[in-house]
Amino acid sequence: MEVATADSATPVSPPAGGLPPGPDWSLPTLTWRWWRRPLQTLDQCQARYGDMFTYRLPHEGTWVFVSDPEVVKQIFTGDPRLLHAGAANIVLLPVLGEHSVLLLDEPAHMQQRKLMLPPFHGKRMQAYREVMGRVAAEEIDRWPADAAIRMRPRMQAVTLEIILRAVFGVEEGERLTRLRDELRRALGLLSQRRRVIFLVALGPRRIRSFPPFRRMIERIDQLLYEEISTRRGTPDLAERDDILSLLLQARHEDGSPMSDRELRDELMTLLVAGHETTATALSWAIELLSRHPAELAKLEDEVESGDGEYLDAVIKETLRLRPVIALVLRKLVEPMEIGGRLLPAGVSVAPCIYLVHRRPDIYPEPERFRPERFLERPAGTYTWVPFGGGVRRCLGGAFAEFEMSVVLRELIARRRLLPVGGPEHPVRSTITNVPSRGAEVVATSR
Ligand code: HEM
C-alpha cells in the first residue's frame, strides 16, 4: 500500500484572500464599544467569528485580532522588517520622543534594544531587591489597619518610587524630589481618559506644541538632562549599577556612546512603561488574593517558609486572568500570509493577549483564579503572553515579575487581606485594564 506523504498527497490550498469577517457595526458603534467595553467586545467577536476577526477604528485603521497560539507564534517570530510595532505606538511620541525603543522599528529598534538589555538581564534583578523591599515596607507600614484602602493609588506610589530609584540609583535629593512631583503630575494626566482622548485628537505631532503640554514636558526634560549631565561626570560611574549609569556606559556598534537625546527618550520610556503597568498588575494580584482565602492561606504559609514557587504561580495566574494590556499590534509593511489568509499591507495584526489567556483548551475553567495550573504546567511562550513576544517582548518583564514578588512578599508578611464588596471587574484606563473600584481591600495587621 502506498502511503501518501504530506508533500505528494495533501493538497496545498492557497491562502484565503482578504480580511477575515468581523462586526459590521457602524464606525461610531465600533469606536464606542472599543473605548467603553473593550473586553466584552472581544468576547463577543470571538464567540461570533472565532480566532481571527477584523475590527476597524478611526485614526487606528484596520486591526485583525488573532488568538490561536500557532498564529500568535507566526507573528511573534515573523520578520520584524515586515511587521512593524513602533509605528503602532506613535501616539506616545510626544512624551517618549523619537529615539524611544517603543517607537522604533527595523535595525534602529534592534540597536537601541541591545543597548538597553543589560540592565534588565534576569541576573541583575538581585541588585534591585533591597530597594524594592524597602520602598514596599515603608509604604505598607503607613496604611491604617482597620479601614478600606484602594490599592491602585498605593501601588502606583510604590512602583513609581521603585522605578525612579532603579533608574537613577539615588535615594533622595532635590532633583529627584522635583522629578517625582513632575512625573506624578504628568503620569496622572496620562491616566485620565478624557484628557488623553483630547490629546490623541490633536494628533501626535501637534500635541508637542500645545502650551500646557509643552511646558510640562520641558520641565521634566530639564531635570532629566541635568541628571544625565551630572552623572556623566561622576568618577565612580563604572562601579554604579543603576540603569542610567549602565546606559551611560553602553556603546553603539560603532563605539559611540548614547547621546543625551537618546538617553532622555529611553529614561522617559522606562519611567512610563514601567510604572502604571506594574502597579495595575499588583493591584489585581491583591484584589484576587483577598477574594480567594484558600490560595491566600497557601501563599501566607509559603512566605513564612521562604520558598517562592507558589508566589510565582500567583503572579503568573494574575497576569493570565487579568492581563494589564489586552493586545499588541504589528503593522504589515507588505501583504502577508497570516493564519492561512493573505492580509493586505497597512493592516495591523493584533495578537490578543486577553483572548489567548481565556482559551478553555489551554486553560480549563479559564475564568477561575487557580495558580496551581502553573505548578502543573509551565507557562508557554505563545500561550502566556502578558508581556507580548518576539523581538518586541517587554524589556522589563523579568523586572516586573521580580518587583511583584518582592512587593507581595512584604505585604503578605505584614498584613492579612480582606475583600471589600463584590468582585471587581476590569475597566479601561487609557491603555491598561484596571480594577473597577481601584482594588479595595482591608489590610489588617498580622
Ligand atoms: C506587569 C508589568 C508590565 C506589563 C504587563 C508590560 C507589558 C508590555 C507589553 C505587552 C509590551 C509590548 C510587547 C510587544 O509588542 O510584543 C511591553 C513593551 C515594553 N515594556 Fe513592558 N510591561 C510591564 C512592565 C514593564 C517594566 C517594569 C518596564 C521597564 C522598567 C517595561 C518596559 C518596556 C519596554 C521598554 C517595552 C518596549 C520593548 C520593545 O519595543 O522592544 N515594561 N510591555
pLDDT digits over 315-355, tens only? 999 999 999 999 999 999 999 999 999 999 999 999 999 99
Distance (Å, whole) CA 373 – CA 313: 8
Average pLDDT rounded to a whole number, residues 361-388:
97
- 202 pLDDT band, cuts 50/70/90, is low
Q: Any idea what DSSP says for residue 430? A: T
Output the residue whose Cα is nearest ligand 1's atom 36. 394
Handedness of CA 266, 272, 274, 275 (dihedral sign): positive
User: Which residue out of 111, 387, 401, 431 has the highest number of ligand 1 atoms within 8 Å of its CB and is therefore the one to mutate?
Assistant: 387
- 195 pLDDT band, cuts 50/70/90, is low
* pLDDT score recorded for residue 91: 78
Kindly state the greatest CA–CA separation across the chain.
83
Concatenating the DSSP letter of every residue in 231-299 gives HHT-TTGGG--SHHHHHHH-B-TTSPBPPHHHHHHHHHHHHHHTTHHHHHHHHHHHHHHHT-HHHHHHH
Strand pairing report for 440-445 and 415-419: antiparallel
pLDDT digits over 118-136, tens only? 999 888 888 899 999 999 9
**pTM score, whole prediction:** 0.93
Contacting residues for 109 by C-beta, under 8 A, at least 6 apart: 80, 85, 86, 101, 391, 392
Q: From the CB of 313, is ligand 1 less than 6 Å away?
A: no
Q: 211 CA to middle of ligand 1, Å?
A: 29
Output the residue whose Cα is nearest ligand 1's atom 41. 392
Output the residue whose Cα is nearest ligand 1's atom 30. 274
User: Which residue out of 394, 404, 429, 433 has the highest number of ligand 1 atoms within 8 Å of its CB and is therefore the one to mutate?
Assistant: 394
* pLDDT score recorded for residue 248: 95
pLDDT greater than 60 at residue 9: no
For the chain, the average pLDDT equals 90
Atom of ligand 1 nearest to the CA of 280: 1
Atom of ligand 1 nearest to the CA of 159: 27
Angle at CA of residue 338, ends 335 and 342, nearest 5° = 45
Q: 327 CA to middle of ligand 1, Å?
A: 12
Per cent of the chain over pLDDT 90 is 72
Asked if residues 323 and 353 have their Cβ atoms less than 8 Å apart, the reply is: yes
* pLDDT score recorded for residue 400: 97
73-82, 120-129, 370-379, range with the lowest pLDDT:
120-129
* pLDDT score recorded for residue 186: 82
Q: 387 CA to middle of ligand 1, Å?
A: 6
Q: From the CB of 80, is ligand 1 less than 6 Å away?
A: no
* pLDDT score recorded for residue 211: 78
Q: 399 CA to middle of ligand 1, Å?
A: 10
pLDDT greater than 50 at residue 384: yes
